[in-house]
């Protein structure tokens, strides 16, 4: 039987009982596959890699080495959460690398979106490789591959596969959630006791805020974007919109307009709110956010975030606008 094909008899995991049965089954399977060897995992803090990490910690504890690379383009509090949950609460074998300066120095002055993506993706692999090369006796590579990845890509997921691992590191893959759909991965994450905000974290592109800080990334504008995005997420939570809107975020373009603060004219960037719903990410509709919520978000961002003096709402569905701006 093709191990990359979901059996037709496999029941959809919708309850804690089914999730626990799946976890027990995978724990046994991982132990049988790995024995007493070490496993390496690139832990992004996303839903899939976090659930795989928690599952493997349950199965093999310290034999799992999690590497979290902070490229400086994470949302506010995300790297801290990875350290708190995995490094502290779960006492995982966690290697944390703050590579912020390394990434931002390479990105300085680069405005072309595709070039930015390539730099971020390429450097990520380099940093991960350097760390992997320092570790002894790693024979397995764990990945957060899920079933839609296999369906979409015929078994190879380019941006998930940590390409570029040294040739002499012949590593066997450990992919415990590869037959699950996203909603099932979340039920399993809940059963493993991961924090709600990690399990229900929104889709977040690999280049992170790098594709939302439009044009050439500067540290001050990236900081403004991160703070504005955190306010948007907080207010959506308060207004009960977090579970109703599939993806919502801020983009900050690289131009300024004149505004007024403390009775003086000053120049600042606009923050653009994007809030969309979609079933398959192929098309998306714009969510109707109550004006009272939009006004509150605008008041907070313009008064609390240095450098931002306007808030705009993007009303464009997909098609013709893509979900991300870059």
- pLDDT tens-digit map of 199-218: 998 888 889 999 999 999 99
pLDDT for the residue numbered 160:
42
Model's pTM, two decimal places?
0.87
Angle CA(24)–CA(28)–CA(30) in degrees, nearest 5? 115
> Which pLDDT score is estimated for 191?
97
16-199 belongs to which homologous superfamily?
Answer: HUPs (3.40.50.620)
Was domain 212-313 assigned CATH 3.30.365.10?
Answer: no
Q: What is the mean pLDDT of the chain?
A: 91
pLDDT of residue 280: 73
Please state, for a pLDDT cut of 90, what percent of the chain lies above it: 79
Mean pLDDT of 50-62: 97
Digit-coded pLDDT (tens) for 3-50: 788 898 999 999 999 999 999 999 999 999 999 999 999 999 999 999
Q: Are strands 247-251 and 64-70 parallel, antiparallel or unpaired?
A: unpaired
The DSSP code for 246 is S
Q: What is the pLDDT of residue 127?
A: 93
Output the pLDDT for position 155. Answer: 42
Mean predicted confidence (pLDDT) in 316-323: 92
pLDDT of residue 167: 53
Residue 283 pLDDT level (bands cut at 50, 70, 90): confident
| pLDDT confidence band for 262 (50 / 70 / 90) | confident
Alpha carbons 161 and 310: distance in angstroms, whole number: 39
Instruction: Give percent of the chain with pLDDT exceeding 70.
Output: 94
101-116: burial string, b at 16+ Cβ within 10 Å, e else: ebbbebbeebeebeeb
Kindly tell me if the per-residue pLDDT of 163 is higher than 60.
no
Mention every residue, 6+ apart, whose C-beta is less than 8 A from residue 210: 71, 73, 107, 116, 117, 120, 217
* pLDDT value at residue 1: 58
Residue 157 predicted with pLDDT over 50: no
Domain ranges of the chain: 16-199, 212-313
Mean pLDDT of 134-138: 88
End-to-end Cα spacing for the chain = 41
Predicted pLDDT at 169: 54
pLDDT digits (tens, 9 = 90+) for 37-52: 999 999 999 999 999 9
Residue 136's pLDDT band, with cuts at 50, 70 and 90, is confident
Does residue 159 contact residue 39 with C-beta atoms inside 8 Å?
A: no
């Amino acid at each position: 039987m093709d191990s990359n094909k979901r059996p037709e008899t496999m029941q959809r995991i919708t309850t804690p009982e089914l999730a626990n049965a799946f976890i027990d089954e995978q724990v046994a399977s991982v132990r049988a596959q790995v024995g007493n060897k070490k496993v390496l995992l690139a832990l992004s803090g996303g839903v899939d890699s976090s659930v795989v990490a928690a599952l493997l910690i349950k199965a093999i504890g310290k034999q799992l080495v999690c590497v979290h690379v902070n490229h400086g383009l994470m949302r506010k509090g995300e790297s801290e959460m990875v350290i708190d949950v995995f490094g502290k609460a779960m006492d995982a074998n966690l290697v944390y690398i703050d590579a912020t300066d390394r990434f931002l120095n390479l990105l300085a002055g680069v405005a072309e979106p595709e070039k930015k993506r390539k730099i971020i993706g390429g450097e990520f692999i380099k940093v991960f490789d350097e760390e992997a090369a320092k570790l002894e006796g790693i024979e397995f590579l764990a990945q957060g591959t899920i079933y839609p990845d296999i369906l979409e890509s015929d078994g190879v997921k380019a941006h998930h596969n940590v390409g570029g691992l040294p040739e002499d590191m012949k590593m066997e893959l450990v992919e415990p959630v590869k037959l699950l759909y996203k909603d099932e991965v979340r039920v399993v994450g809940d059963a493993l006791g991961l924090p709600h905000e990690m399990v229900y974290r929104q889709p977040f592109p690999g280049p992170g805020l790098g594709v939302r800080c439009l044009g050439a990334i500067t540290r001050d504008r990236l900081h403004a974007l991160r703070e504005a995005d955190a306010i948007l997420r907080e207010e959506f939570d308060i207004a009960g919109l977090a579970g109703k809107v599939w993806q919502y975020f801020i983009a900050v373009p690289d131009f300024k307009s004149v505004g007024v603060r403390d009775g003086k004219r000053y120049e600042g960037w606009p923050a653009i709110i994007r809030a969309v719903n979609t079933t398959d990410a192929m098309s998306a509709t714009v969510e109707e956010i109550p004006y009272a919520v939009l006004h509150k978000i605008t008041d907070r961002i313009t008064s609390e975030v240095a450098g931002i003096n306007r808030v705009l709402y993007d009303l464009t569905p997909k098609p013709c606008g893509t979900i991300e701006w870059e």
